[in-house]
Amino acid sequence: MSTDLPSRSDHSHMQADSSDGVTFDEATVERLLQLGISRRRFMSYCAGLASLLALPQSMVPRLAQAATSTTLPSVVYMSFQECTGCLESMVNSFAFSGGTTIENLILNMISLDYQETLMAAAGDQAEERLLSVTDQSDYVLVVDGSIPARWDSGYFISGERSGVARFRDAAKNAALIVAVGTCASFGGLPKADPNPTDALSIGDLMADLGISKPLINISGCPPIPEVITGVILYYLSQGMPTLDSLRRPTVFYGDTVHEDCYRKESFEEGPLAWAFDDANSRKGKCLYMLGCKGPVTHNACSRIRWNQGTSFPMMSGHGCIGCSEPDFWDRPNRRNEKGFYIPIAAGSGHTRGLPCNTCHDDIGGDDD
């Protein structure tokens, strides 16, 4: 578990301190010169990234190497039954002050060789591109969206091919498959009851197709941008991260958002917020009674925060909806009712000494 992870406020501290004592190899230094990035800025970026990824500072040079290599690792990003929220989130990615942004990531650190929403090529030229890059080997295949189980259902066709065929062909030579977002990781919205299109998560589809390749799930609807880019860079520099039983990197999904929520004291001891905009809401008291799913939701929102540390759902007054967990759209709460405003059954989650129902599949019962 990652209880020893530095909290958000620790990042700046580590950034400032760590620019000493780390040496880059010559190639890295030369590359930085070429790219017009100052060593110091780059250093602080790598240090921030390392601390985000809970890596020892001794790993910084390796990160730096990966980030400045002359042949960039190829990333193929394919979209299926999705809403583009995951990509939109990734486009907001900005590591740390003075650090690398999505612009630099795309231009300098990876070669984003296929991404339908951003790529210049269209139609036949886009298809040719997809075929030629997936003909090579060792690219990272990033996928968002679920995929309809039946290839001939017509529920997903692109470039005259079904979702199943498109994925199967693109997966063939991939070194790693990364499912971005809860739709790709667990089926998400399309799979919500009654799953009208027979939508599958990427993991389930791989099992169905008999594809055994390394898979990382980066869940969230959408995931936090720095988590998406952070995991990709981690893999490129360090290899496979440690995963939980749902194949999510424990460094980001090891804790619940409740663990790091500043409202936790009132969860334990009260008072609670009972309505939006009431006096306790303004004081930032716990949103448990308004349906917060924080105690059963594994994610880093309260630690990393969203949009470069601007806020996170509970800080802006709304409970967690649980978006990084499987089947969160259909989660049963008190009295077995579904709903984002229905409090979770007492005893759910990592709190009050009881087992976490997400980790242990022990969904709490009726409490009133």
Partner 1 sequence: MAATPNVIIDPVTRIEGHLRIQAHAVPDGMGGGTITDPGLSASTMVRGLEKILQGRDPRDAWAFTQRICGVCTVVHGLTSVRAVEHAIGIKVSKNADYIRNMMIGAQYVHDHVMHFYHLHALDWVDVVSAMKANPTRTAALARINNGTYKPNNGALPNAAYFQTVLNKLNNLVSRGQLGLFANGYWGHSAYKLSPEENLLLVSHYLEALAWAREVVKLHSVFGGKDPHPNLVVGGMPCTLSSNTGTVNDEKGGTSLNTEGLATIKTAVTRMKAFVDQVYLPDVILVAKRYKEWANFGATAGNFLCYGEFPDPALVKREFTDGAIDYPAGYIIPQGVIWADAPTTLTPFDEKMVTENVAHAWYLGSDTGEHPSVGETELYYDGPLPDQGRNPDGTSKYMLDENARYSWIKSPRYDDQPMEVGPLAHILTMHARGGTANAQPTDKLVRKYVQQLWINPTAQGGLGLTFTQLNSTLGRIFCRVLETKIIADQIAGRAADTAAGTAAYAGWYQLYYNNKAGAYWNPNTFTRLQQPNLWPVQVGFGFTEAPRGALGHWVKLNRVSGLIDNYQCVVASQWNAGPRDLVGVPGPYEEALRGHVLANLKQPLEVLRTIHSFDPCIGCAVHIVDPDGKPLVQVDVNHGVCSTTRVSDMRCAS
Interaction of residue 350 with partner 1, rule CB under 8 A: no
Among 321, 344, 345, 356, binds partner 1 (CB under 8 A): 321
* Integer CA distances (angstroms), 359 to 58, 200, 253, 325, 340, in order: 32, 21, 11, 10, 20
From the list partner 1, ligand SF4, none, pick the one residue 71 interacts with, judged by a Cβ distance below 5 to 8 Å according to partner type.
partner 1
Spatial separation of the C-alpha atoms in residues 349 and 40, rounded to whole Å: 42
Q: Which of residues 317-356 bind ligand SF4 (CB under 6 A)?
A: 319-320
- Tell me the window of 51-59, 60-68, 188-196, 245-253 that interacts with partner 1 (CB under 8 A): 188-196
Q: Which of residues 174-213 bind ligand SF4 (CB under 6 A)?
A: 181-183, 188-189
Interaction of residue 255 with ligand SF4, rule CB under 6 A: no
Nearer to ligand SF4, 183 or 231 (CB): 183
From the list ligand SF4, partner 1, none, pick the one residue 271 interacts with, judged by a Cβ distance below 5 to 8 Å according to partner type.
none
Interaction of residue 243 with partner 1, rule CB under 8 A: no
Among 18, 162, 217, 351, binds partner 1 (CB under 8 A): 162
Closest among 34, 167, 158, 169 to 104, alpha carbons compared: 34
Spatial separation of the C-alpha atoms in residues 113 and 48, rounded to whole Å: 27
Torsion angle, CA of 91/92/95/100, rounded to 10 degrees?
Answer: 50
Starting at the edge strand that comes first in sequence, how are the strands of the sheet with 174-180 ordered? Answer: 111-115, 74-79, 139-144, 174-180, 215-218
- Tell me the window of 16-24, 43-51, 56-64, 95-103 that interacts with partner 1 (CB under 8 A): 95-103
Give the containing element (helix H, strand E) for 147. strand 147-148
Query: 254 Cβ partners below 8 Å, 6+ apart?
Result: 1, 2, 5, 244, 298
Nearer to partner 1, 59 or 278 (CB): 278
Interaction of residue 275 with partner 1, rule CB under 8 A: yes
Interaction of residue 222 with partner 1, rule CB under 8 A: yes
Interaction of residue 278 with partner 1, rule CB under 8 A: yes
Which pair of structure tokens corresponds to residue 291? 């349906």
Three-point CA angle 247, 96, 215, nearest 5°:
15
* Interface ranges with ligand SF4 (CB under 6 A): 82-83, 85-86, 144-145, 181-183, 188-189, 221-222, 257-258, 261, 263-264, 267, 286-288, 292, 294-295, 314, 319-320
